[in-house]
Amino acid sequence: MVTGMKTDIAIIGGGIMGSAAAYFLARSGQVGSVTVIERDSTYTHATTPQGAGGVRQQFSVEENVHMSCYSLKFYKAFADRLGGTPDLPDINFREQGYLFLVTADGEDTLRKNHALQTSLGVKADLIDYAEVQRRFPSIQRENIVLGCYTPDDGWIDPNGAMWGFRRAAEHLGVTYVKGRVTGASTGAREVKSATLDTGQIILADFFINTAGPWVNEVAAMTDANVPVVPMCRVQHFWKCAHQIEPLPLIKDESGMFFRPEGDGYAGGRPSFDVAPGFVEDIYSGFFANYFEDTVWPMMAALVPKFEHLKLQRSWAGHYAQNTLDGNMIIGKYSPGHDNIITACGFSGHGIMHAPAVGRALSELALTGRYQTLDLSRMEISRVHANAPLAEVGIK
Ligand SMILES: Cc1cc2nc3c(=O)[nH]c(=O)nc-3n(C[C@H](O)[C@H](O)[C@H](O)COP(=O)(O)OP(=O)(O)OC[C@H]3O[C@@H](n4cnc5c(N)ncnc54)[C@H](O)[C@@H]3O)c2cc1C
């Protein structure tokens, strides 16, 4: 018989998703003990602290809009929602809006997406190029025909949000164990325990795999697999020599995005040519001249004042990229094991959806069903059916 620490629910991976799930489980008052297993207390390689922190309601898949609406409200009231948590970090919500910009090729899709969003209660303005320039004179690219501006959107400090969920979960009694899960033992239809690199064994009635871009390392321990790969995404921070009016987070059809950050700007442009996998060194190989050759010309073509900038630093993070459709996979995923679920494959949306997904994971773990927002279209069955549920337009 295996002996070790016993917990009701074990969560593998304590980034923003695992910590949000832990918080909602603890807050429910319906579970005895929750343990989060996190291998890196400094979160040096975790995805969450590397993210841009953008929170937006501009999506084409209805569930994504609903999740964003809930999460946006949650983040705007973060301190109140997690009230009572000692030393709660400030997530520094900046309600400065999101602006999607398209050329003639993207006009119809932007209009359709705008119609969906407004039908779901999102405040969103369609604005032509003249209006874009009137509101944001620094933007000057004549092939832009239309923008969609959502003034209630903005961005947060993702590190603050992740630690906020973790602090709140710990305050409500959740235990964080430092260690890397390296193996699992299974029974006829269930996962029984997780083994850590420290030698510790954690037995649980229920498991949640929120290991981010490492989701398949954990999935392999029960002979499972999800279509999610790590994709390196490099971000940059630069200062501009000119004064620029306050800008929203701006994104275009190429995937290029940027937003104000302190006394400069943070942004980038996901490359679709880089091979999947973890990239440790962005100063050689594919990303060696990426800012200068690819990102900077695109930024300066949109905002000519960016011709005169100083790049301060660049850093890499890794999307957990769902190769089927770029959207998350939630729920059971390990054939023959009914007591393990995941939420993974967020690509670039995990920070903004963490409150909604944490709540959904908690509902699944406690009741086996969604109690608030039905996310069943986002389960792994669509992968088996080869039926992508992809975002249309700007992703
Ligand atoms: C450059 C960039 C920009 C982004 N911008 C945005 C944005 O603007 N808005 C947005 O919403 N999203 C954005 N994202 C996406 C977002 O950051 C992710 O979707 C989100 O952070 C994923 O959270 P997570 O908890 O699933 O993963 P992570 O934060 O990676 O957490 C997973 C945790 O699991 C732990 N772990 C892994 N394996 C094990 C194991 N075997 N045992 C124990 N622990 C383990 C890891 O140490 C890690 O801490 C961006 C991502 C990148 C890379």
Element (H, E) at 297: helix 296-302
Confidence of residue 2 (pLDDT cuts 50, 70, 90): low
Binding site membership of 181 for ligand 1 (Cβ less than 6 Å): yes
| Residue 188, pLDDT score | 85
Cβ-proximal residues to 288 (8 Å cutoff; 6+ apart), any chain:
282
Q: How far is the CA of 12 from the centre of ligand 1 (A)?
A: 13
- Judge whether 208 and 35 are in contact, CB under 8 Å: no
Q: Between the CA atoms of 115, 119, 121 and 124, what dihedral angle is there, to the nearest 10 degrees?
A: 10
Separation in Å, CA 260 to CA 99, 154, 239, 309: 13, 11, 10, 14
The class (CATH top level) of 5-83+158-226+327-384 is alpha beta
CA separation, residue 160 to residues 59, 186, 225, 266, 288 (Å): 25, 36, 31, 17, 30
Q: 82-117: per-residue pLDDT in tens?
A: 989 999 999 999 999 999 999 999 999 999 999 999
**How far is 13 from 179, CA to CA, in rounded Å?**
10
**How many degrees, rounded to 5, is the angle at CA 249 between CA 121 and CA 211?**
85
Question: Token pair for residue 245?
Answer: 């009016």
Distance from the Cα of residue 62 to its chain's centroid? 17
* pTM exceeding the 0.75 threshold for the entire prediction: yes
Instruction: Show the tokens assigned to 354.
Output: 């963490």
Q: Would you state the structure tokens that stand for residue 238, as one six-digit string?
A: 């630069």
- Domain segments of the chain as ranges: 5-83+158-226+327-384, 98-151, 228-322
Identify the burial level of 310 via C-beta atoms within 10 angstroms of its C-beta, where 0-12 means exposed, 13-18 middle and 19 or more buried: exposed
CA of 345 from ligand 1 middle (Å) equals 10
CA 16/CA 190 separation, integer angstroms: 26
Q: Is 212 helix (H, G, I), strand (E, B) or coil?
A: helix
Tally of residues, the chain? 395
Q: What is the pLDDT of residues 344-376, one digit of tens each?
A: 999 899 999 999 999 999 999 999 999 999 999
The rounded Å distance from CA 349 to ligand 1 centre is 10
CA–CA dist 267, 61 (Å, integer)? 24
Structure token pair of residue 274: 């880089």
Q: What is the pLDDT of residue 4?
A: 85
- 257 CB within 6 A, ligand 1: no
Is 357 a pocket residue for ligand 1 (Cβ < 6 Å)? Answer: no
The token pair at 23 is: 């918080």
Q: Is 395 in the pocket of ligand 1 (CB under 6 A)?
A: no
Residues 164, 241: Cα–Cα separation, whole Å: 35
The domain defined by 228-322 folds into: D-Amino Acid Oxidase; Chain A, domain 2 (3.30.9)
CA dihedral 349→355→356→358, nearest 10 degrees, is 100
Tell me, in angstroms, the distance from the centre of ligand 1 to residue 46's CA.
Answer: 5
| pLDDT tens profile 237-272 | 999 999 999 999 999 999 999 999 999 999 999 988
Is ligand 1 within 6 A of the CB of residue 165? Answer: no
- Containing 321, the helix (H) or strand (E) segment is strand 309-322
**H runs (alpha helix) in 77-139:** 78-81, 107-119, 129-135
Confidence of residue 3 (pLDDT cuts 50, 70, 90): low
* pLDDT reading at 293 higher than 90: yes
How many helices (H) and strands (E) are present in the chain, helices listed first? 11, 18
Residues facing 342 on adjacent strands: 209, 331
Query: Stretch 119-135: mean pLDDT, rounded?
Result: 98
Pairing of strands 175-178, 34-38: parallel
Place of tokens 């083994």: 195
Rounded distance from Cα 105 to ligand 1 centre (Å): 32
* Atom from ligand 1 closest to the CA of residue 37: 43
Token pair of 364 as six digits: 């699944």
